[in-house]
A and B are shown apart, each in its own frame.
Chain A
Amino acid sequence: MRVDDLGCTIAGRTLLAGVCFSIDHGEALAVLGPSGAGKSLVLRCLLGLAPSEAKVTGRLQWEGREVSLADRDALAQLRGRGLALVPQAAAASLDPMRTVGAQLREVCALHDTDGRPNERLEEVGLAAEFADRHPHALSGGQAQRVALALALACRPALLLADEPMAALDCVSQAELVELLVRRCAAEQVALVLVSHDLARVVRCCARAIVLDGGRMVARGPLAELLAAPPEPTTAAMVLAAARRG
């Protein structure tokens, strides 16, 4: 999959410009940058879920096909089995009125995939009894695992994860990142992991792009960006992640 020249403007204000990256099956790419850099907006544009007043430009090369990023209907067709999202606030993304199992079955039915909730839950390290729980009876880490199970339920080719660990404690963060990378590698799913925590993603993503102010300011192998930050935003991030006391 390749994203070419993604741009987004709202009311004449440029929020994203010139964002390009490519990713292969089973590969993990980190999207890094400070708050407000446009990281989440990149994901929303790829999903065809940018704000309705936004003008999105650019192209998505998808398994030999080219899709215009302005074509929300075409992007809607890709949601589910093509692209899936693990949102930042997992608990808020779940339907509070329905059990976890019912939500898993619904997603599978919508996308015509095999819907056995217990197996889906097992894949993300949750016992079968979680299928009968409502979202309010889940911890933050458990809700995030359910969101991951929902995203993986349709066997997407590309998983977009928007700071999925930001609201979790550090033990749960480490567990979730490990799970995310392990599941994606096992199913040959490409993973785009948005994060502002460089230290958290450094062991699981081989490559990264760095955004600041809606522009791509750096890209390349994460190890190289760390060893020799090419510009100030990356340098500030590396410095802050390395700082001890």
Chain B
Amino acid sequence: MNMSLETGSSGHVHEDMLVGRGLTVGERLRGVDLELGRSTGLAVIGRSGSGKSTLARALVGLEPELAGSLRLAGRELVGSPRAAWAELRARVQLVWQDPATALDPNLTIRRSIDEARLLAGRDRYGRDDPRAAALMERVALGPELLGRVPGALSGGQRQRAAIARALAAEPELLIVDEITSALDRPVAWTIVDLLRSLRTASIGLVMISHDLSFLPGTVEDVLVLAGGRPVESGPVTSVLTAPQAAATRALVDAAPRL
């Protein structure tokens, strides 16, 4: 089953930076179509093993077995030499699930940010560069944390630092893979609020989550995966209130409510 997300349900047609057709990774991901850009607000939901993280990894070039078509600004990446993927790194950033292992434990936050900028082909921030402090402010971290290593930060601070590292590359699209699942709920909401503020700054968002309560107000569209295949997609409000696929219904039914 193929499906495409032509436009956001917000109605405005966007210029798609990254277009996937029939994205397939072995048995783990089968035939996903999507179109992503600065105005994207897409949640990918599904149970463990449904292919969510595989899709995230595929979209940043970390799945060597990727088949199908993935075009960056019209240029085909699948089957291209590794150098062709380099531009993707600057334009699409992935924030990993586990804040404890997402950052290099030996690097201060400042050096992690510098590393991300260099990998994305950007200039390094200088010692007292106000841009570094401004970046930290954007994720609600004090500039004094630039000199700390990840081990000296709390889980929520680490996840913010990981988002800062991703933003340092100045991406057009941010993919976040279950970034709130290791956090307690009040802290998780502060991260979701941060993601919402990034969307208003015209950074596209692909949010992988199994926690459906974070979706409304954060993204407009949702793609449901089951067994590696897309089984349902559409506007968040209608998919969550009137789920069609059995896999979607199971997720909606299992969501905890007070």
Contact = CB atoms under 8 A, between A and B. Distances in A.
Instruction: Tell whether A and B belong to one assembly.
Output: yes
Interface of A: 33-36, 139-141, 166-175, 196-200, 202, 226, 236-245
Nearest to A202: B258
B185 A240 contact: yes
B238 interface: no
Interface in B65-105: none
Q: Find the residue from B183, B250, B257 having the highest chain A CB count within 10 A.
A: B257
A199 B154 CA distance: 23
Contacts of A174: 253-254, 256
B254 to A, nearest CB: 4
A167 B98 CA distance: 10
Contacts of A241: 185, 256, 258
B141 interface: no
Q: Find the residue from A168, A173, A239, A240 having the highest chain B CB count within 10 A.
A: A240
A197 to B, nearest CB: 6
Contact of A199 (B183, B210, B256): B256
Contacts, number: 80
Contact of A240 (B154, B181, B186, B256): B186
B258 A171 contact: no
A171 to B, nearest CB: 4
Given A241-B258, A245-B217, A139 B186 contact: no
Interface residues of B, number: 32
Contacts of B1: none
Nearest to A175: B254
A244 B216 contact: yes
A170 B47 CA distance: 7
Contacts of A169: 46-48, 210
Contact of B213 (A166, A168, A196, A244): A244
Given A169-B48, A170-B251, A171-B251, A35 B183 contact: yes
Contacts of B251: 170-171
Nearest to A243: B189
A176 B253 CA distance: 15
B48 A199 contact: no
B222 to A, nearest CB: 13
B255 interface: yes
B211 A34 contact: no
Contacts of B211: 170
B129 interface: no
Contacts of B48: 139-141, 168-169, 172
